[in-house]
A and B are shown apart, each in its own frame.
Chain A
Amino acid sequence: MDGAERGIVMAREGQKVIILTPRGDWQALKLAGPLPEVGEEIMLPPAVKRPAWPLVTAAAIVLLLVLAGSVVRRVETPAPAAAPRVAYYVNVDINPSVELAVDEGDTVLEARGLNSDGEKLLAGIALKGEKVTGAMKILALEALRQGYYLPEGGGAMMVTVIPAGSGQEKLAAGNELGQKLTQEARNVFQQAGVHAAVEAATVQPEIRQHAEAAGLSTGKYSIMLEALAAGAQVKVADLQRESITKVLQELNFNWEDVLARLKKDPDLLKKEEQLGPVLKAALGQGPLPAENGNSKGDAAARGPAASPGDKPNQGDNQETRQGKQQTPGQGRETNSNRGHPSSRDGMAVAWQLRARLKAGLQSQPGGPVLKEWPVLENVPGKNPRDVLAKIKLEGAFLKKIEEKRQDMAKR
């Protein structure tokens, strides 16, 4: 354990305090809740290293594009050679929403938080390289530990499996994976005495893209579609803030019923079409209704196999996000489908990139966090196996204290 865990408050400014740790480190902290007085000692949350480099890198990339564009007059998108391919995305909604990218061999390639709570949930655990079932167990344990589920309490977890490619057999395989994952989470909750409802659904890959465009996790977006179809007045903004169960509860809907409907007929693309204006209203000024509005005709012809390249409006939208987050695998797909910007002027490309970055930076608070995938390397001590080993030490320390207490009481 090598982080300063406490510090003395040296100054307060607004919601911020400046503290000094026993190690002689000066830090500025933003605190929620009542601020401590100057001179008080406070407990520090674990230091989350947030290097400023994503922004710097982005700026560097823009600059590079400008330079390359003006000299060579063309910009190539280098395709990474042997990057492992994503076979599935597994999206877990508690209310922290996280997404795992999983390869063919069921190994987690990447884990990222889809909202700030999701990032917090992932901050202390390393899922990369784990088998997806193991990752699910760790996630559930971590959610327990962070207090999203309380012993003897209820709660919900929705697992959404999204195959990276289209096809019926992939959806079927996704269902199977979903079952395995829910079982894993249920086991954890059962052992902890939590009565949480864990459900899974499998949806089409396009839905994930639409969800991203709407700023929701795939699970939330799917439930929203289904809830809209059932007549609930769900709003994107509410779902971005609150958990699925809470939003639906307020509208007097039961999320499990809604999910059951989804399971019965998982063709969400069709539902999207049928919803049309209702969806548009739910999305507010989202980009999707525009697309839905003017391409209704050819949308009917669009099967689940339609590639994102067919939809110019929406394709553009995805790029807004990809510009910042570089989803492995998926990023490449869209690039190749969209056609290279090589013929375009370098300057124009740079300006577009800049505009997209700007749009990304101005994302709503509470909305999905548009940033790089969090890097969860195997930090020593943060390895889940170490964590599990530690939990086994249970109570030994407390027992010693109690013994000592009794011993002294006797004297």
Chain B
Amino acid sequence: MQPGADPNHLLALARSGDAVAREELIRRYTPFILSVVSRTTGHFIRLGEDDEASIGLMAFNEAIDNYRLEGGAAFLTLAETVIRRRLIDYFRREGRHRQVLSLQAMEGETAAAADPVARDEINMVDELADRREEIERYQKELASYGITLKDLVKCSPQHRDARDRALAAARVVVANPLLRKYLLERKALPLKALEKEVETSRKTLERHRKYIIAAVVMLLGNYEYLAAYIGQDRRGGQDGRR
């Protein structure tokens, strides 16, 4: 199975009984599974150490079989639902873990505890709605800086290192109250000051200006989901590869 294979295709193969494709798909989406598990449980999960991780993997495996193409929803959405459902089942069985359930999971449970299936669906719908609301809010705030999502697609640093450096620059701005103030008041990047704080050249900073601002906005504003999302890759523990 080559690394470049289309995951959607792997999914189709796995569903038609190809064990290799299934394994490859699970392996590739292990970071995703761990991030869903971490979000649901509210603490970091390590592959091979926590039972929750195994439950996540099994649930993902189950989702592969349950997925219906004509349903329309994205596979990962279903996978996420199944993973949460299985985790909640697990916690319920164990009992002792209840206190570490995230608030969201708890809320969903109390809202529709009567019907275990509907409960999770509602839970997921709520979560999706929250996410959508967050994204819309984010877009609006970006617009106040004169940045559209299309701009970001255009000027997103292509190379991984360049992207990491740009994100690092964004974190510098977030961490420094003076730079932060400058950005919020003038709606522009404090290039001169920032240049001294990071190793990136001013020219590069300028080129990635919009991208960096977008990242700062994401990290500064109240965008829990998004900020955690782009942070995922840096938290080695979650990925199981440090």
- Spell out A's residues near B (CB within 8 Å): 1-3, 5-6, 8, 10-11, 18, 20, 22-28, 34, 36-46, 123-125, 145-147, 150-151, 381-382, 384, 386-387, 390-391, 393-398, 401, 404-405, 408
At the interface, is chain B mostly helix, strand, loop or mixed? helix
In the complex, which of the residues A8, A22, A391 contacts B1, with contact meaning CB atoms closer than 8 Å? A391
Contact B128 A37 (CB under 8 A): yes
Contact A390 B8 (CB under 8 A): no
User: What are 18 residue pairs bridging A and B, where the CB atoms are less than 8 Å apart in the complex?
Assistant: A1-B3, A2-B160, A24-B230, A28-B153, A34-B72, A39-B128, A40-B73, A42-B75, A45-B8, A124-B4, A145-B9, A145-B13, A381-B3, A386-B2, A390-B1, A391-B1, A397-B26, A404-B57
Query: Does B29 touch A at the CB level, under 8 Å?
Result: yes
A125 partner residues in chain B, CB cutoff 8 A: 2
Contact A391 B20 (CB under 8 A): yes
Contact A27 B32 (CB under 8 A): no
Shortest Cβ distance from residue B119 to the other chain A in the assembled complex, whole angstroms: 20
B149 partner residues in chain A, CB cutoff 8 A: 10-11, 18, 26
User: How far apart are the CA atoms of A368 and B222 in the complex, in Å?
Assistant: 50
Contact A408 B23 (CB under 8 A): no
Query: Does B38 touch A at the CB level, under 8 Å?
Result: no
- Spell out B's residues near A (CB within 8 Å): 1-9, 11-13, 16-17, 19-23, 26-29, 31-32, 35, 51, 54-55, 57-58, 61, 72-77, 80, 128-132, 134-136, 139, 149-150, 152-153, 156, 160, 163, 166-167, 211, 215, 226, 229-230, 232-233
A390 partner residues in chain B, CB cutoff 8 A: 1-2
A42 partner residues in chain B, CB cutoff 8 A: 74-76
A20 partner residues in chain B, CB cutoff 8 A: 226, 229-230
Contact B153 A27 (CB under 8 A): yes
Contact A27 B13 (CB under 8 A): no
A3 partner residues in chain B, CB cutoff 8 A: 3-4
Smallest CB gap from B76: residue in A? A41
User: How far apart are the CA atoms of A27 and B232 in the complex, in Å?
Assistant: 18
4 nearest CB pairs, A to B = A39-B131, A124-B4, A39-B132, A26-B156
Contact B7 A387 (CB under 8 A): no
Contact B229 A22 (CB under 8 A): yes
Q: Told that A124-B5, A394-B19, A404-B58 touch, could you supply 17 new A-B pairs with CB distance under 8 A?
A: A5-B28, A5-B32, A8-B135, A10-B139, A18-B150, A23-B230, A27-B153, A39-B131, A43-B29, A45-B6, A124-B2, A124-B4, A145-B21, A382-B2, A391-B20, A395-B19, A408-B55
